[in-house]
Amino acid sequence: MGEHSDIGNISPSTDKSSCVIQRVAHVTKIGAEGVTAVVNGRTLLLPKDKVAEGLAAGDTIIWNGKIWTASNGVV
């Protein structure tokens, strides 16, 4: 028996799930190379081209699929 997964093979026409995974992080530091943030308990350096401008240490940020942005109280 081979190792095969059908996880990525759900047809858009039959997938009626409204479940959305939201990535949330907390900014700990802003630097020249990017933003240091705690994501799911791990401290990561997020490249500056993947974060919105104007963030500050202490901000809560969310991933919109393309870029990390301020949560603006959404979380």
Q: Percent of the chain beyond pLDDT 90? A: 64
CA distance 35 to 23: 15
- Strands 42-47 and 34-39, sheet pairing: antiparallel
Q: If you average pLDDT over residues 53-70, what whole number do you get? A: 95
Sheet holding 68-70, edge to edge: 42-47, 34-39, 24-30, 60-63, 68-70
Tell me the backbone φ, ψ of residue 22, rounded to 5 degrees.
-110, 125
pLDDT, position 20? 64
Mean of the per-residue pLDDT values of the chain = 81
Give the pLDDT score at 16: 55
pTM: 0.69
